[in-house]
Amino acid sequence: MSIRLLLVDDHAVVREGYRRLLERRGDLRIVAEAGTAAVALSAVREHAPDLVVLDLALPDMGGIELIGRLRQRAPALRILAFSMHRDPLFAAQALKAGALGYVTKSSEPSVLVQAVYRVAGGVRTLSPDIAPELAMSLLDDAPGPLHALSPREFEVLRLLLDGDDHARIGERLHISPKTVQNTHYQIKRKLGARSDIELARLATEHGLGRG
């Protein structure tokens, strides 16, 4: 019985590389591809894949936000995040949002293939370069202020650090500017930041502003 996959990445050439790698295995079948979050959501409804291989950097919605929405639409769906980010914070937030695995794009191809099988089998999986013990400790309420943020708060903070205003963030996450404003306030409250300058400093000190 084959594992039905949806590939989500905004670069067609990159998706073609995933497809060639994964379809070498006779029991892995690519049923759809998507270059945006909107297409990914439609593809899940239309094709009912078993597993999504998801890049976190999409043009129309943050990948962590998309993970939550995919799980809302299809609670049994397995999600493997495949990201350029090597910071365990991103892995922890992706898992908190509902992904079952996280593999960096700097990993060996065999790591991605094995992660697909493990996630399809319901096993939480991280690539070796993510320092699994640190990512798991973040999930287990270890000290660290950014760990206190919800996945949506994490996405909003990341976009604020990129220089986006409330209206633009609302467009990216498909929420209202008022919701973004309220989330911005909650982030500052949780992190104890009295200003946006202090917020940026705290986020950078704890790893979010680095790469």
pLDDT of residue 134: 59
Do 12 and 94 belong together in one domain? yes
- For residues 81 and 99, give the distance between their C-alpha atoms in angstroms, rounded to a whole number: 7
pLDDT in tens, 158-199: 889 888 899 999 988 888 999 999 999 999 998 888 888 888
pLDDT of residue 140: 55
- The secondary element (H helix, E strand) that includes residue 95 is helix 88-97
pLDDT of residue 144: 65
The amino acid present at 194, given as its one-letter code, is R
| CATH classification of the domain holding 20 | 3.40.50.2300
- Out of 115, 139, 163, pick the residue that ends a domain: 139
Do 108 and 188 belong together in one domain? no
pLDDT of 141 over the 60 cut = no
- Mean pLDDT in residue range 4-21: 94
Query: In the numeric block, which tokens belong to residue 45?
Result: 């409804």
- Mean pLDDT in residue range 11-35: 94
Do 130 and 178 belong together in one domain? no
pLDDT of 121 over the 90 cut = yes
pLDDT of 4 over the 90 cut = yes
| CATH classification of the domain holding 163 | 1.10.10.10
47 lies in some domain? yes
211 lies in some domain? no
pLDDT of 143 over the 60 cut = no
- Classify each residue of 173-207 as buried b or exposed e, where b means 16 or more C-beta atoms within 10 Å of its C-beta: bebeeeebeebbeebbeebebeeeeebbebbeebe
pLDDT of residue 148: 80
pLDDT of 59 over the 90 cut = no
pLDDT of 211 over the 50 cut = no
Do 122 and 94 belong together in one domain? yes
Do 18 and 93 belong together in one domain? yes
Do 74 and 154 belong together in one domain? no
Do 130 and 58 belong together in one domain? yes
Do 92 and 151 belong together in one domain? no
Do 178 and 131 belong together in one domain? no
- Out of 139, 161, 179, pick the residue that ends a domain: 139
Cα-based distances in Å from 203 to 112, 149, 190, 210: 29, 11, 12, 9
pLDDT band at 114 (very low <50, low <70, confident <90, very high): very high
151 lies in some domain? yes
Phi, psi of 164 (to 5 degrees): -75, 145
Do 44 and 96 belong together in one domain? yes
pLDDT of 146 over the 80 cut = no
Between 6-20, 106-120, 129-143, 150-164, the lowest mean confidence (pLDDT) is in 129-143
The amino acid present at 100, given as its one-letter code, is L
Count of domains for the chain: 2
Domain that holds residue 171: 145-205
